[in-house]
Structure 1
Amino acid sequence: MTDFSKGPTPPEGLPDQLIADLAELTPDELRKTIIHAQELLQFHEETEFPIEPEPGDDILRVTEHDGYTEVVKQVYCHEGCDNCPHGPFLYHVTEEPHPDGGTRTHWSFIGEAKVNQD
C-alpha cells in the first residue's frame, strides 16, 4: 500500500470511502478512473473537462487551482524511440477568451516534474 501522508490532499467534500478506494488503485486503474469520471461529467453535461491530451500523452496527475489546472504528463514519441516515455513534465492549463466570444485551452510548459513512484 502506498503512503499518502506526503501525497495530494483530496478536494473538500469528497466522500471518505471514495478517497480510501482511490488510494488502493494502481496508477493504471487511476488513469482509467479519470477517463470514466470525465465521461460521466460529459454525460451529465455539468462541465466539459478542459484537459484534452494529445495522442501519445499519458496524464499522470491533474490538480485544480484558482485560475489554472496543473497537469503532469509523460510524452511518448513515435515508434523507434528507445528513451520513451519522456518526462514527466509540468504544465499549467488555462481557458483563454478569444475575440470570437469562445474560449480555448492554453498549455503553458513549466518544466520537469517530480512524481512519487511509491
Structure 2
Amino acid sequence: MSISNLTPRVVRIYQADRPDGVDDLDLGLRQTFDPAPQPAALDPLPLVSTIQDDVPLELVEYGHADNLPAAREGVFLIVPIEVALALHPRRADLLVTHDGVTTSDGTVIGYRSLAQPT
C-alpha cells in the first residue's frame, strides 16, 4: 500500500498520544507526506443560472475533480475533504486528514490519523 498527498500543504501524522498545545513540530511525529505540485481540486460544472430575490443563483454539480489520477490498486490519495465528499462513494481510495494536532496558539500543524469518508 502507498499513500500520496494531493493537497497543497505538507501533511504531518503524529502519534495518537501527541498532546495539543506544544510548539515542537518533531514531538511524536510519525510520518510526513509532501504536497503535490498540482493538488487535487473540485472542478464545479455550472448547470443552470437563475435570479432569486434579485441575487444570481447557480445550480452547480460538484462531482468532478482536477489533478486527480485514476484509482489504482493499493494506492491511496490524501485529498481535500471537499474532493473526497464530492466523489464519495465512487472513489474508495480517497483519504482526508483527521484529528488535528495544534500548537499553543491553536494553529493546526498536523493530524493524529487519516480518515476514509463513508
TM-score under structure 1 length normalisation: 0.26
Higher Rg of the two aligned structures:
2
- The structure with the greater share of residues assigned to helix is 1
Structure number having the greater strand percentage: 2
Relative contact order: is structure 1 or structure 2 higher (C-alpha 8 Å, sep ≥ 6)?
2
